[in-house]
């Protein structure tokens, strides 16, 4: 089955009992047992629910994994995965991972004795240097946020194999439509399905996929023990969103490519960050490991005042956090998602006051360009 077909026919298709072509929403908590312990595979919906399982088998298919797991948010997914580790264990983590990932590692799991070191994973030597005798895993994102730095997944997998570490890849930005970390040697893929997989700014969800059965059993044990599961209705919404993932991702990318080239030609933009541009430092690695470059772009308009002006003047770019939805979203990382980083450190990282991040939607690109043009000229 090819990818666009898998999006429609992967996982569980429809309902055997009625012929319904959409998976039913099993809004149920418990299941009748014919005798003690004798049931049809379901006993309680935290442990297993048919609608959630349809979603879990779909994401497992899309990521070429063995087992999928659905959670109430991306952070619930990540926290459950980190619960694989014990007090005294250490993780090496990307230094520009999602802010919530940084927060849970340095404010929650650190209190339970799970330590983390944050390094720029786009340089593999940084990761090697940070590995200690008690290191158990590397957790990374590629491309990263907001500067779209690219990390070589195969290079990370080679390091992890040698040191017997688990490689965990947050694949939220690329989605399985463009990138399959398990095929490149990762052990665990996590997603904030709130973003592209859902795609319509209407559901908060997280997904995990593994290719190893034993690891799958451990994650299922943790999912059932901790209990942060995705409810049936949200599971159904996510399946519905994922049917059009291919259509949306192709449009997101076509629009982003046009916008990137348009921005690059302008003399009033100092820097454009998009891995699809041939002069982006991660372009070659991105080309090697992914089928596309995604719909996230950042660019520098020179100053904080100018960034603020652009945000105020655009009509079709909604000022909001989050990403990956059909509508274009615009933000200034220095003032929003990355505001908690000290100004000096932000400058060093390249997250300037004039840096604008756009999650390019699927609107008509001519309208988007016209709108941005008038906002930049204002």
Binding interface with ligand PLP (CB under 6 A): 73-75, 98, 100-101, 141, 170, 172, 192, 194-195, 204, 206
Is 187 annotated as catalytic?
Answer: no
Is 120 annotated as catalytic?
Answer: no
In 20-122, which residue ranges form alpha helices assigned H by DSSP? 50-62, 74-82, 99-107
- The three-state secondary structure class of 243 is helix
Q: How far is the CB of 19 from ligand PLP (least distance, A)?
A: 34
Closer residue to ligand PLP in complex, CB, 204/208:
204
How far, in Å, CA of 98 to CA of 100, rounded? 6
Closer residue to ligand PLP in complex, CB, 329/365:
329
Q: How far is the CB of 66 from ligand PLP (least distance, A)?
A: 22
Point out the catalytic residue in the list 136, 195, 257, 306. 195
Closer residue to ligand PLP in complex, CB, 75/260:
75
Point out the catalytic residue in the list 26, 98, 177, 274. 98
Residue number of the CB closest to ligand PLP reads: 74
Is 98 annotated as catalytic?
Answer: yes
Q: How far is the CB of 4 from ligand PLP (least distance, A)?
A: 24
Closer residue to ligand PLP in complex, CB, 179/194:
194
DSSP 183-219: GGT-SEEEEETTTTTT-SS----EEEEES-HHHHHHH
Is 44 annotated as catalytic?
Answer: no
Q: How far is the CB of 32 from ligand PLP (least distance, A)?
A: 34
- Report the alpha-carbon angle 11-12-16, nearest 5: 165
Long-range contacts of 306-312 (CB under 8 A, 24+ apart): 306/354, 307/332, 307/353, 307/354, 307/355, 307/356, 308/332, 309/375, 309/378, 310/356, 310/372, 310/375, 310/376, 310/378, 311/356, 312/375
Q: Which residues participate in catalysis according to the annotation?
A: 46, 98, 170, 195
């Amino acid at each position: 089955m090819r990818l666009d077909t898998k999006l429609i026919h992967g996982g569980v298709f429809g309902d055997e009992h009625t012929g319904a072509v959409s998976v039913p929403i099993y809004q149920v908590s418990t299941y009748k047992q014919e005798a003690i312990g004798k049931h049809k595979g379901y006993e309680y919906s935290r442990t297993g629910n048919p609608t959630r399982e349809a979603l879990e088998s779909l994401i497992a298919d899309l990521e070429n994994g063995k087992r999928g797991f659905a959670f109430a948010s991306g952070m619930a997914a990540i926290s459950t995965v980190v619960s694989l580790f014990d007090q005294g264990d250490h993780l090496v983590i990307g230094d520009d991972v999602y802010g919530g990932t940084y927060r849970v590692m340095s404010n929650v799991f650190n209190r339970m004795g799970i330590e983390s070191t944050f390094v720029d994973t786009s340089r593999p030597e940084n990761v090697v240097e940070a590995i200690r005798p008690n290191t158990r895993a590397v957790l990374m994102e590629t491309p990263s946020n907001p500067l779209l730095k690219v990390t070589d997944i195969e290079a990370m997998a080679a390091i992890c194999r040698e040191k017997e570490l688990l490689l965990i890849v947050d694949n939220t930005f690329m989605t399985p439509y463009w990138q399959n970390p398990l095929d490149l040697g990762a052990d665990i893929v996590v997603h904030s399905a709130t973003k592209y997989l859902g795609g319509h700014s209407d559901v908060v969800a997280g997904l995990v996929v593994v290719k190893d059965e034993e690891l799958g059993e451990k994650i299922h044990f943790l999912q059932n023990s901790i209990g942060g599961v995705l409810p049936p209705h949200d599971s159904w919404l996510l399946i519905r969103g994922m049917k059009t993932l291919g259509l949306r991702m192709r449009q997101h990318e076509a629009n982003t490519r046009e916008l990137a080239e348009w921005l690059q030609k302008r003399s009033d933009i100092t820097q454009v960050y998009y891995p699809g541009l041939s002069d982006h430092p991660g372009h070659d690695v991105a080309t090697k490991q992914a089928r596309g470059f995604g719909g996230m772009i950042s660019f520098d308009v020179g100053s904080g005042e100018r960034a603020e002006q652009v945000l105020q003047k655009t009509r079709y770019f909604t000022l909001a956090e989050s990403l990956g939805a059909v509508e274009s979203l615009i933000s200034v990382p220095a003032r929003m998602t990355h505001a908690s980083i000290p100004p000096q450190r932000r400058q060093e990282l390249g997250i300037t006051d004039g840096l604008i991040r756009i999650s390019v939607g699927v609107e008509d690109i001519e309208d988007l360009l016209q709108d941005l043009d008038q906002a930049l000229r204002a």
